[in-house]
């Protein structure tokens, strides 16, 4: 096994002291190193294929240089992969690595991500919970006791012991619905999942907020067969593709939409709670002059609805990373709300306007 290159080896090759090499390699502030000397040290390090000892560096700094991300999600779903990419991008800017953790309870009785922190493998945690649920009560007690730097994303709840990042779904839904109402539809069909979460309740409230000023517009709500219990089956299409269970659920979903849009007429509108849900409606109604809109779109379809709210998933990941870095630096916890304002016109895309 080859001998590991040390700072002494670099110092010998560059004809400088070991301290000078340390100052250059670690970019130590307050040290005046001539540009020519700095370049000579760095050139010697490159030629010797020097790799810093991360364990020793972490011991000196009392930091691991790594952040844990709890992502009990299907990361093939565009929304979640976009968020993870935002986290990674921001962490890379400051030299942090990313470690995917789980929420599984270990033999110690603690969740995997908390064990990772207490063992010193990560300096903090970004928590993307399952079904928008945050840390358990038992985990929250440990987070508070051990002052664990932790940020939850899209878990719809404030906390005094960790930071939170959430979307303003209610105002985003209001804004998009107001854009739809500018087209003066006689009727709006609202398509939503069979899920009762704070996020879905906020979307429904935002829709109602906009409709309060348009009492003549009729609202009809259709609930799809998508539930928390079968959501993993629904999302499998993004990773493993078609499955028998997924095909059955998709057929039931399509049948629900088919029956719901049968009574719509020209000038009516459909607003879907989730991304991609108006695509089958456009396929069936493109000749009928029915407006389509989505409250949450992640850009995974080329066949955009007429109007849609593009979720800033990448920016949300960056915000989560920023909040965690702030906690790691000892700053107090906070609650950040990301406003949804990016209403886009899908008729201006590649395929042009739909026939009316």
Secondary structure of residue 24 in the 3-state scheme: helix
In this predicted structure, what is the pLDDT of residue 55? 47
Rounded CA Rg of the chain: 26
CA distances (Å), origin 32, targets 23, 28, 29, 38, 298: 9, 10, 9, 10, 49
Tell me if 203 sits within 8 A of 175, measured CB to CB: no
Where b means 16+ CB within 10 Å and e means fewer, 289-323 reads ebbbbbbbbbeebebbbbbbbbbbbbebbbbbbbb
Q: CB within 8 A of 31, min separation 6: which ones?
A: 23
Q: Rounded to whole angstroms, how far apart are CA atoms 87 and 25?
A: 26
Tell me if 265 sits within 8 A of 285, measured CB to CB: no
In this predicted structure, what is the pLDDT of residue 65? 85
Burial of 332 (0-12, 13-18, 19+ CB in 10 A): exposed
Nearest CA to 33 among 47, 17, 48? 17
Q: Rounded to whole angstroms, how far apart are CA atoms 69 and 100?
A: 5
In this predicted structure, what is the pLDDT of residue 350? 46
Q: How many CB atoms lie within 10 A of CB 48?
A: 15
Point out which residues pair with 343 in neighbouring strands. 309
Secondary structure of residue 227 in the 3-state scheme: coil
In this predicted structure, what is the pLDDT of residue 300? 67
In this predicted structure, what is the pLDDT of residue 305? 87
Nearest CA to 26 among 59, 66, 57? 57
In this predicted structure, what is the pLDDT of residue 203? 95
Secondary structure of residue 46 in the 3-state scheme: helix
Q: Rounded to whole angstroms, how far apart are CA atoms 198 and 339?
A: 16
DSSP of 167-215, one letter per residue?
E-HHHHHHHHHHHHHTT--SEEEEEE-S---HHHHHHHHHHHHHHTT-T
In this predicted structure, what is the pLDDT of residue 280? 80
The pLDDT tens digits for 284-315 are: 776 788 999 999 888 766 567 889 999 999 99
Nearest CA to 332 among 131, 167, 149? 149
Secondary structure of residue 297 in the 3-state scheme: strand
Tell me if 234 sits within 8 A of 195, measured CB to CB: no
**Alpha carbons within 13 A on the beta-carbon side of 168:** 13
Where b means 16+ CB within 10 Å and e means fewer, 168-205 reads bbbbbbbbbbbbbbeeebebbbbbbbebebebbebbbe
Nearest CA to 147 among 120, 124, 164, 129? 124
The model's pTM is 0.78
In this predicted structure, what is the pLDDT of residue 94? 86
C-alpha torsion sign, points 43, 48, 53, 56: negative
In this predicted structure, what is the pLDDT of residue 233? 87
In this predicted structure, what is the pLDDT of residue 355? 47
| Mean pLDDT, each 10-residue run in order, the chain (356 residues) | 74 88 78 87 84 53 79 79 93 88 73 87 88 83 91 84 94 96 94 93 96 94 93 80 87 91 91 89 77 87 80 94 94 93 76 48
């Amino acid at each position: 096994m080859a001998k590991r290159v040390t700072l002494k080896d670099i110092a010998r090759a560059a004809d400088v002291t070991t301290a000078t090499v340390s100052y250059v390699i670690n970019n130590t502030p307050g040290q005046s190193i001539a540009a020519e000397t700095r370049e000579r040290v760095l050139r010697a390090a490159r030629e010797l294929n020097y790799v810093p000892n991360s364990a020793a560096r972490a011991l000196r700094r009392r930091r691991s240089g790594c952040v844990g991300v709890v992502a009990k999600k299907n990361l093939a779903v565009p929304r979640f992969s976009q968020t993870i990419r935002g986290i990674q991008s921001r962490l890379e800017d400051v030299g942090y690595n990313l470690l995917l953790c789980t929420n599984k309870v270990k033999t110690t009785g603690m969740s995997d991500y908390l064990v990772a922190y207490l063992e010193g493998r990560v300096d903090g945690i970004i928590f993307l919970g399952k079904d928008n649920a945050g840390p358990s009560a038992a985990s929250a007690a440990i987070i508070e006791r051990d002052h664990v730097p932790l940020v939850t994303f899209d878990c719809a709840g404030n906390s005094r012991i960790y930071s939170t990042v959430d979307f303003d779904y209610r105002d985003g839904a209001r804004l998009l619905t107001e854009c739809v109402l500018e087209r003066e539809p006689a009727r709006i069909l609202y398509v939503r999942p069979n899920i009762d979460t704070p996020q879905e309740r906020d979307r429904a409230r935002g829709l109602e907020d906009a409709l309060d000023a348009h009492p003549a517009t009729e609202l009809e709500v259709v609930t799809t067969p998508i539930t928390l219990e079968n959501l993993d089956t629904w999302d499998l299409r993004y990773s493993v593709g078609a499955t028998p269970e997924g095909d059955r659920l998709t057929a039931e979903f399509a049948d629900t939409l088919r029956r719901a849009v049968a009574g719509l007429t020209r000038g009516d509108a459909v607003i879907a709670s989730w991304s991609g849900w108006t695509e089958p409606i456009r396929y069936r109604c493109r000749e009928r002059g029915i407006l389509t809109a989505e409250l949450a779109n992640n850009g995974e379809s080329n066949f955009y609805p007429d109007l849609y709210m593009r979720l800033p998933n990448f920016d949300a990941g960056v915000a989560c990373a920023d909040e965690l870095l702030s906690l790691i630096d000892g700053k107090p916890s906070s609650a950040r709300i990301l406003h949804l304002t990016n209403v886009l016109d899908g008729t201006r895309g590649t395929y042009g306007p739909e026939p009316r």
